[in-house]
Structure 1
Amino acid sequence: MGDGSTGGFTTRQVHAGTRAPAASPRALPIHLTAGFTFDSFDDAASHFGSGDGFGYTRTGNPTVTAVEDKLASLEGGAQALLLASGQAAVAVALLGLVSAGQHVVSSTHIYEGTRGLLLDNLSRFGVTVDFVDDIGDPAAWRAAIRPTTRVLFAESIANARNDVLDIAAVAAVGEEHGIPLIIDNTFATPYLLRPIAHGAAVVVHSASKFLAGQGAVLGGVIVDSGRFDGGRDGALFPQLTEPPRGGGPSLWERHGGSARIAYLRESIAPRFGPTPSPLNAFFIGQGIETLSLRVQRQSENALALARWLEAHPAIASVDYAGLASHPTYDTARRYLQDGYGSVFAFTLRDGLPAARTVVESVQVFTHMTHLGDVRSLVLHPASTSHSHRTEDERLALGVHPGTLRVSIGIEDVADLRADLSRALDAVTAAPRTVEHERVA
């Protein structure tokens, strides 16, 4: 009865037909299972002792592992760890490196979810943070570092002002102190920029965005450089270099330069539990197969629209790193040689009423809080993603009452331009009203 083909009805409905025949599929198989059977008593003991093989999807899954290998290769890292969301990737990366009483130095220009994690959540556990406003000045980063600093954090292309970070310069500051630089590379994608090649220690992504590309699933990823030096920096990260609670060799002794991501994989991710669905991993892997084609098209569309908008009389300014008018244009030219990305902001001269008219007039653009989709998207940051910032903070970040953020898709650029043109014509045709433009 071992194959499930005999026995009572209820026994057969549970056991029959559960062993798929061996085959070699061209597409990545979806191992949609909570756990995996062991071949023997000793096989189970070996798995729990060494971690090799697969026992339970929370600690490893063949579909997830295949996508991790693809992402590590594309980012030029040693290993990758796929998680349930981009926010999970940021949280797990930080939780693996900081302890109570320690300190993070972060760019001011980061995703609001990450900022809230630092200010509202990690602060409850005694982790403090200082923010660097002038992210292009290495001296500003250096001045913010304390003896307790364990992480530098920034985005390769910042939300929402589109500032491009001089990754090599900031990574060098961290290297002086043995402090890893974590880069959120969601906006750039590994097609346009690979931060590890410029000195970053860790890269995170919201895989829900460009990597998946279709806006259907959530996911996040951490990619590690594999360059952790326990002999030099072990005193800063004893969790990586000291023996574990039950004794035995340390992570540094077992994994060498990959001790950092081994700690995330073995201790942080499975215990906090942001496990990705193998089905979501499959969709992310499928999306990655067309990443370069999509991002190239999206970047070309974005540059064309940004140039057109900059010359439009209804537009006060366009914040796109691919324009010569952008303050980090020279940095962008050094780091983004295959395109400048497809997410940027522009500000309308007539402020909040004009922004409202544009959002409610577009037909090809989709109004939603997302980016990196094959579809073009639009959002009003001051009333949505940046609504918890003060007015002065929003202005410092380039978020005005009339600012809109767009994520440009793969549609025909002529259709996108026509859609925006109709919306901007509606702004011009709208009667002037006295409307308070302060966004609370």
Structure 2
Amino acid sequence: MKITVAGAGYVGLVTSACLAELGHLVTCIDIQKEKIDMLQSGRSPIYEPGLESMLEKNLSSGQLHFTMNPHHAYSDAEIIFIAVGTPEKHDGSVDLKYIHVVSNLIAYYIENDVIVCTKSTVPVGTNELIQAIIDSRKPPNLQVEVVANPEFLREGSAVLDFFHGDRIVIGTDHHKVASILEQLYLPLKIPILKTDIRSAEMIKYASNAFLATKISFINEMSNFCEKVGANIEEVTFGLGYDKRIGHDFLKAGIGFGGSCFPKDTKALLHLGGHINHPFDLLEAVINVNNRQQSLPVLKAKETIGSLKNKKVALLGLAFKPNTDDVRNAASLTIVKELLEEGAVVTAYDPLAIPNARRILGNTIEYADDIRAALRDAHLAIIATEWEQIKYVPLDVYQNHMRDPIVIDGRNCYPLHEIQKYPITYLSIGRPDVNNARQKKGWE
């Protein structure tokens, strides 16, 4: 099929490459010339495992094209996927300006009947808005059906998720349209759920809100564990065996980040206020997450006192491993609070330094090696559980730091291994190791 994808961000780019891999003729359109030039040369502007090789392969075969020309993109497409950004406004609501722009462009440039599928995460009712915009501007002889088709791709495993996801949701009341999309996705052999449009829109928000709730719940339990002397890892191990709960998303840490969970939880909370339905649970989820991101600096101050002029090694900048994305990352909160305390920060990350530098500038120093970041540091804070951090020999802390004090926000190391080294080690929801900090305020 001839498919166009509007937007070359994470979702649009992965969707384009994977649909081309399935054998479809795919055109991806974006308004950023630098990005399109880069993609046309076979280079990806984002890091995603397996993506760049797939781009190169399908560009070479002619299955995949990139353009800025809307006529070329939309005129003869059979299916158009909308994957443009839906950024957060200051009040937590969703900014739909790019949805409006692309809807108008589609209406103006299409020359055939077409199915428009919305991949972008949008508030309930948005697909009806898209339908109304297109219907009011398209040629009267053309038929356009708008479908809610939310994505469930995780950064760092998006390609894998496309081909091996848990489900595909198709939101439409038109059986023929649903059947066409079902045939499109059938080769993936993934369960397909057909719903009405508004339910499909809500499934995306409900999924992210539930997972965010699970994360905040286990992080709150980790704080309980610290105060009562329990070990959160043993608690979650026992908890996860309950089939009603499961083991996934029960890893204690310093909160969630990225482009989805923070934005989507706030958007759903805002929608609740708009329809006069306060979402108290979700408000608590957000508050717990915000508090959790501040935990490393709080532990640091209670461990060594004043941080003024102390050198702190921050290990990890990306919001999660296997991505260079720092949006809403815990590291940004940690840097802000460390600088407010007068600390001198040196950060290490295998991939995310360029993106972090665009936000943080030269307020901190950057190291391309973990040992360089740790050299002469009074304190180390682990903010991202990269393999390069999880599997570093533990004597590196002992040999390179001025004071081997480690605050591990991701529980990277087994306690029985840490106990073999003269390291003061504070993790999340687990007993401290070789720790001489005062207990004041934590009893």
Q: Which structure is richer in relative contact order (CA contacts within 8 A, separation 6 or more)?
A: 1
TM-score after normalising by structure 2? 0.32
TM-score after normalising by structure 1? 0.32
